[in-house]
Structure 1
Amino acid sequence: MVVINVVILLLMIETLSCEANRPNIVFIIADDLGWNDVSFHGSDQTLTPNIDLLAYSGVALGRYYSHAMCTPSRSALLTGKYSYKLGMQGYPLVLSEDRGLPTSITILPEYLKDAGYSTHIVGKWHVGSSREEYLPTKRGFDSHFGHRGGYLDYYEYSYEEDWGKLGRVAGLALFKNQTPAWDVEGYITDVYTEQATSIINKHDTSSPLFLMVAHNAPHASNDGALLQAPHETVREMRYVESPQRRIFAAMIKKLDDSVGDIVAALYAKGILDNTIIAFVSDNGGMTSGEFNNFASNYPLRGIKMSPFEGGLRVVGLLWSANLNNTSHYWDGYMHVIDWLPTLLSAAGIETPADIDGINQWDSINSNSPSERITMYEIDDMVGYASIIYGDYKLLTGEVIQNYCTYQGSNLTGLIGKPPCYVDAIVDSTMYRVLDLIGQPFNIHDLSLRKNTIVQCDTPPTDLCFPGVGKVCLYNIREDPCETTELSASYPHLVLSMQALLQAEVSKRIPRKKVTYRNPLSAPSRFNYTWDTWVQ
């Protein structure tokens, strides 16, 4: 009996030791941020010095891909599975819809919690809230402060749906765990930043921390006020010619400030040196159309809700004080489904076998080739499907053509000179933190910026759109802006890629367009809040 007790004690000590050595993980998600909306991708209009320095001192992910919309990309992130294998593809969830991430599937915070992590989410959820069992605190998170749906008003925290003949319905969309947050005030980006830094400040360091910060910014708000930012911040952006883009630039400024504040809080807590930070956009920017926020993916073709590069190839980076990739850039393919196995591997946790994701930790860290060759995008609501195989991308089915053009070049106008990029870098919070941790940033290393800038020829006027009996093929390595259609030149490649794509389409859980708004979800039934409504 004594021997058994000693063995149990040793196992407990070993387990506690492993937990103490696991890295903290902070995962920051921007909502509808465009490829050309961060300055490390070349923008002189929307300066993002804190985000940029995370890339320059960490690793910029040059070919990071996601699903083309919010709910699908977040579902894939949490499960390591393509969204169409979960029934979560297509148009994002509305709060009057009874659908959610299948509860039979283990998701990222549940793996981390089982390994001893303290798990928290601040901000957007958007993978199910009609039932209590869909909520974050029932899916592995210790706490959730934020909105459960696709977006909310930046000051009033309301969310509105158009129910057709029944009119528009609205209600409070902000919650503290399962309690409506009526008492909260402030600009939501700042509110989420304060909540995130408070979690960091109060964290018990005897266990590792997993903190997901899923910002609303820069997603559009309700129809009456699509773009919202503090007036004083908008005034700072008066060098931006477009009035709408000026407000958008202010929203980006607040987002970048948030990133700097979160990193500073990690440093002040004394845990930055053992923290992995990821920053991504959930999908491409929405330059026009429904809930347009005047983001720009230019010169990439297409926007959010499109299978072209502007909808799928998005901002991504990975930071750790202990990374070995001295080039600070990785050109390998990575998909949103790869985060689950990548982060679990970095945390020393065994990765599940029944997922689509690939562990990219060693490849990124050593700047070696990606193990990913193939990526899929399948939306059976709109009716399109695409496959990336090696250097090539094939698009099939029906697309919304207005979302598949080159957009955003008209938003880049400036009045006079923009702020000095070097000054913005030097004045940033991240610049000071890097100096404090003994990894000062050399301003000459701004030359790293050239690695991430995409340059393309003038877009063609005769665009290929897939349709009935028609496909579009591009070499996205040599032609990242999808200007030269190649299907006639490579018919055998088209047939091979179509076969791979069709095999993948057969694995999907079909998804139909939601045409019914369930009156049981009406906020008026729940003191004008968007609460759970299915028992």
Structure 2
Amino acid sequence: MDDRMPRACVLWMFLTATITKTSQDQRPNIVFIIADDLITNSLSPLAFVFPHPRIPNFLLHPPLLWLSSSSPPNTASSLSKPTNMTDKINVSLLGWDDVSFHGSAQVLTPNIDLLAYSGAALQRYYTHSQCSPSRAAMLTGKYAHRLGLQGYPIVESEDRGIPLNEKLLPQYLKELGYATHLVGKWHVGHSREAYLPTSRGFDSHFGHRGGFIDYYEYISEETWTTGKVAGFDLYRNSTPAWDVEGYITDIYTEEAARVITSHNKDKPLFLVLSHAAPHAGNDGARLQAPPDVVRGMRHVDLGERRLFAAMVKKLDDSVGQVTETLEKMDMLNNTIIVFVSDNGGMTLSIAQNWGFNWPLRGLKMSPFEGGTRVVGLIWSNAMSFTKNVWEGRMHCVDWLPTLLKAAGGEEVSGIDGLNLWDSITNGERPRRNEHFEIDDYTGYSAVVSGDYKLIIGQPILSHSQHDYGDELRGVIADKVPSYEETLRNSVMYSVLKKIGKPLDMQSVLSKRRRLTVQCGSSGNTNVTCQPTEDKMCLYDIERDPCERNDLSTDLPEVANRLYRMVKEEWDKRIPRTVPMFRDPDSRPSINNYTWTNWKD
């Protein structure tokens, strides 16, 4: 052990830290901030569309001619030792174009942007295409299909969760002496007490257990065949938080700040801040933001996008406030901050919420880049990142081993995740060359290997293409705030100056240009391949990130190799179960008007 190693904190907006063995007081704090994905708000219409898992024909009956031929047919029957890991600010359904460091002039996110510019922006960060699968993967280090949690997310009235034989990230960190806290969304099982956060390694949980809530009333609604069913879903550990009032993004920010200010610095901290924003709420009030914040978004052309931009503004304010609290408590210099979304935005279709993935193709619930390539960054003042724009590939399963390395933990065997800490911090050759999206419930699969991506099956058509161009990026020119002034007026800009890490504006603008994906003037509207039960699509996502040009007939050897990879991984899955979606015993009306752990 090197006693000279610097100490650091980690903020998980999804966050991460390094390393060799250290004593407890040297371990990094972790703050994990998660943005929510704006999933649909009337629960599980897909439960009725797909009452049983849908397995692509060619995976049940492989195209043997293709497997034995050269061409696929078009048809086929350290941080040395940070002390705190504020390891995660996690958001849901935040689209690729919903942060300004990716080039948006509509949705301005100065605090998030400055973390990216002064840390490492993860240019190729991937998740599963839906929220429960992504969150389960982050907590276990395993692909969702290895857990039986692939496909449509867990609903309030469903008896399902992360298998109880799985060990989660907070449980590993508690063994290393961490205080572990979750603020915000859980969404990986709540029907039984054994599924709840405080039974899975967290010392405390303040937040909602399901996928979404009303931003002011904290109610979650489902649509049953008998009509709407609604219940309260805001808890302080096991007790409904009936006393709470206010806008939920502010409430979660205040709670995260309270956790930080009351933390005993003799122990390392692991804080997950899992925001509701910018996830949609219930039908009739999907997008909610304080009126004064909405009025400040008058530069945004479309009304729905204006409201969405206000929700993201409150999310960005939260990032600034949490970071400022860490600085005031003299914890920021030994904190690592990670910020991520758990899947892509949902612009239209049954879950329309106006998140925008431009210029990437597809939405949440699809295997295309717009559904799975998402916002991600990592920051620490104790490290000098070799590359501020990290081009290596990372998947959400990689957080568990990466953060454990940062915390000085031992390597975990039997998981899918890779420790990428050295790759990200030192600019080393990335270790991850492939990742999978296997969904036997919706009926599609995909693999990324090297430069190429193969999609198999039948993703929902409306989720797999954009029926519009860049018109949703529209702004009223004479009302657009100055980007440079917005950065300089932010909380994060002041914090960086205080800690001696000011930014050169020319460097900032250069990084922003590098982080803006370019696909040509036609954007992602000129798609040439839509996967079906009998048609597979192959893309070179390094040269064609918008997935417009199908190469399956031009590169049959590549398509054949990737098909074999998908088939092999498909055979390793735990088949998705279909439990009772509308368990009558879950009704809030017989459970004190709350969504609770009714199976106990």
Select the residue among 151, 156, 159 that pairs with 1:95: 156
Structure 2 Cα separation of the partners of residues 188 and 265 of structure 1:
19
Give the alignment's TM-score, normalised by structure 1.
0.96
Select the residue among 266, 274, 280 that pairs with 1:220: 280
Structure 2 Cα separation of the partners of residues 186 and 351 of structure 1:
42
Structure 1 Cα separation of the partners of residues 555 and 281 of structure 2:
44
- Please name the residue that 1:435 is paired with: 497
Q: Secondary structure at the match of 1:248?
A: helix
Q: Secondary structure at the match of 1:251?
A: helix
Residue identity opposite 2:535 in structure 1: K
Change (3 A) 1:70 1:433: same
Report whether the alignment pairs 1:280 with 2:340.
Answer: yes
Pairing 1:105-504 to 2, within 5 Å after superposition: 105-164=166-225, 166-406=226-466, 409-417=470-478, 418-446=480-508, 447-457=510-520, 458=522, 459=524, 461-504=526-569
Give the share of equivalent positions with the same residue, in percent: 54
- 1:285 is displaced (CA, Å) by 0.3
Give the alignment's TM-score, normalised by structure 2.
0.85
- 1:19 is displaced (CA, Å) by 4.7
The number of aligned residues is 522
Q: Secondary structure at the match of 1:224?
A: coil
- 1:527 is displaced (CA, Å) by 1.0
Higher relative contact order (CA 8 A, sep 6+): 2
Structure 1 Cα separation of the partners of residues 319 and 268 of structure 2:
20
Structure 2 Cα separation of the partners of residues 34 and 437 of structure 1:
31
Q: Is the 8 A contact 1:380 1:512 kept in 2?
A: no
Q: Is the 8 A contact 2:82 2:336 kept in 1?
A: no
Deviations 1:273-310, CA, capped at 9 Å, x for gaps: 11110000000001012232101001000000000000
Structure 1 Cα separation of the partners of residues 561 and 206 of structure 2:
47
Report whether the alignment pairs 1:74 with 2:135.
Answer: yes
Report whether the alignment pairs 1:505 with 2:576.
Answer: no
Structure 2 Cα separation of the partners of residues 482 and 397 of structure 1:
16
Q: Secondary structure at the match of 1:304?
A: coil
Question: Structure 1 stretch 386-395 or stretch 343-352: which is displaced more?
Answer: 343-352
Question: Structure 1 stretch 404-413 or stretch 239-248: which is displaced more?
Answer: 404-413
Structure 2 Cα separation of the partners of residues 187 and 292 of structure 1:
22
Q: Is the 8 A contact 1:159 1:172 kept in 2?
A: yes
Residue identity opposite 1:110 in structure 2: Q
Name whichever structure is richer in helix by fraction. Answer: 1
- 1:23 is displaced (CA, Å) by 2.6
- 1:410 is displaced (CA, Å) by 2.4
Q: RMSD of aligned C-alpha atoms?
A: 1.4
Structure 1 Cα separation of the partners of residues 332 and 527 of structure 2:
50
- Structure 2 unaligned blocks of 5 or more: 1-21, 29-80
- Please name the residue that 1:522 is paired with: 587
- Please name the residue that 1:84 is paired with: 145
Structure 2 Cα separation of the partners of residues 314 and 163 of structure 1:
32
Structure 1 Cα separation of the partners of residues 371 and 580 of structure 2:
24
- 1:369 is displaced (CA, Å) by 2.0
Deviations 1:20-68, CA, capped at 9 Å, x for gaps: 8653112100110000000000000100000000000000000000000
Q: Is the 8 A contact 1:69 1:282 kept in 2?
A: yes
Deviations 1:316-374, CA, capped at 9 Å, x for gaps: 00001122324311000000000111111111111211110000000000112210011
- 1:241 is displaced (CA, Å) by 1.0
- 1:416 is displaced (CA, Å) by 2.8
